[in-house]
Every structure is written in C-alpha cells, then in structure tokens.
Amino acid sequence: MRFVYFIISMTVFFCQSQTSTRFKNEVGLINQKYDSIWNASQETIVFTGSSSIKMWKNIQELFPEYQIINSGFGESQTIDLLNYTDDLILKYKPKKIFIYEGDNDISDKKRLKDILNSFSIIISKIKKENTEAQIILISSKPSIARWHLKRKYMRFNKKLKEMCEDDDHLEFVNVWDIMLENRKVNKELFIDDGLHMNDEGYKLWYSVIKNHVQ
C-alpha cells in the first residue's frame, strides 16, 4: 500500500512540476482581487474549478448573507486545481468548498483514475488544514459540444457520487440530470459555443446548489 501511495504521489508531483507555471498569472489576479475585499473574520464559502465556475458572475448576489470567493479559472483541469489548492482554497480558510473539475480532464482524454486521484489529494489537503470543512463536489454537466462523451461523463459522475457516500465531510451535487430534456442535453441552456452556460443554465445550477450552501 505504501508503495502504491508513493507511485501516486510521484506521478502527481511530476504532473505538478510540468504545470507549475500554468495559470500563474490568472491565479495571481484572483488573489489580488480577493486580498483587497476578503474579510478573514467572516465565514467564507469558496467556489472553485474550471470555467463553469469562473463564468458564474453573480454567485455573491445569489448568496448575499455569505462571503463568497469565486476562484474559478478557465480551462483548468483537476491537476491544476491541485497545484493551486493553497492559493485558491486554503488561504481563505473556507467553511465550505464547492468544486467543479473533471469536465476538461475528460475532454482531454485523461484517465478516470488519474482524475479521481487528484480529487482525493485535494480533499486530503483541505482536511489536513481544516477537519470541519465541508466539501461539495459538483457533477460534470452535459453540454452540446461534448455530448459525444456523455458515457465517460456519466461514469465519472457515478465515481464522484460514490466518493461522497463514503465520507461525512463530502457532498455530491447532481447538475447533470436537471440539464437534460428527454434524455438529451437541453440546448436552450448554452451560449453559442455549446459548452458554457447562459443565465438559464445557471438558474438550474442555483436551484440544486442553494440547498448545500444553506
């Protein structure tokens, strides 16, 4: 078991070293923005992950009673969030963390076990810093642009859900089902690129995520 963990750790270390400067400027701008407005004395909720989080511009307005940090960074994969866990999550000492990653990983043909390994290490890092933090994993969404990969996304979502079932500090949010219409992706929920959501898509997300915030 120790040998297996060593191999996983070395693999992650290698991947991190390869991506150590990727997104550095974007992460720096996120930190610069919130360093000027974040109140360390108030409870904080972090939303982080790829562009579906980054482009959710009105999260703070939807939850005005909470201090929200949106540290989403576009085109990111799970290994990128692992690389910047300290900067995008831990430095804000959040009570709750919502994570949306895996979408770009699957599109980039990453192996499911590698994605889940990165998730596991991110979760371990958060728990080590704060044993009381609640971590909410948001399922991958269906999209027009990536509908041909739907079976891979569905397998990934199943694994994420199973991961949450085994841990009291993890919760799973299913945004996949609510974005379907007659078992096909609802095309009315997307902007022209067929990948990112419009306001109607985010309204659906809010309808299921709000219960996990409150």
- Please, which residues bridge with residue 69 across strands? 46
CA atoms of 88 and 137, how far apart (whole Å): 16
Instruction: Tell me the CA distances in angstroms from 193 to 58, 78, 202, one per residue in order.
Output: 21, 22, 16
169-197 b/e (C-beta count within 10 Å ≥ 16 → b): ebbbbebbebbeeeeebbeebbeeeebbb
Please give the pLDDT value at position 6: 45
**Positions in the chain short of pLDDT 70:** 1-20
Instruction: Tell me the CA distances in angstroms from 11 to 86, 117, 146, one per residue in order.
Output: 19, 10, 28
- Closest by CA position to 142, among listed 205, 79, 97: 205
CA atoms of 201 and 209, how far apart (whole Å): 12
Q: What's the pLDDT tens digit per position in 148-167?
A: 999 999 999 999 999 999 89
Please give the pLDDT value at position 193: 97
CA atoms of 168 and 134, how far apart (whole Å): 9
Please give the pLDDT value at position 166: 83
- Please, which residues bridge with residue 48 across strands? 99
- Closest by CA position to 143, among listed 73, 55, 79: 55
Please give the pLDDT value at position 22: 82
Phi, psi (degrees; rounded to nearest 5) at 168: -65, -20
Walk me through the domains of the chain, giving residue ranges and CATH numbers: 2-16+43-213 (3.40.50.1110)
Please give the pLDDT value at position 213: 94
Query: How much is the pTM?
Result: 0.90
Where helices occur in the chain by DSSP H, the ranges are 2-18, 24-35, 51-54, 59-62, 78-83, 85-88, 103-107, 112-129, 150-165, 199-213
Q: State the Cα angle at 30 between 27 and 33, rounded to 5°.
A: 150
113, 50 Cβ separation under 8 angstroms: no
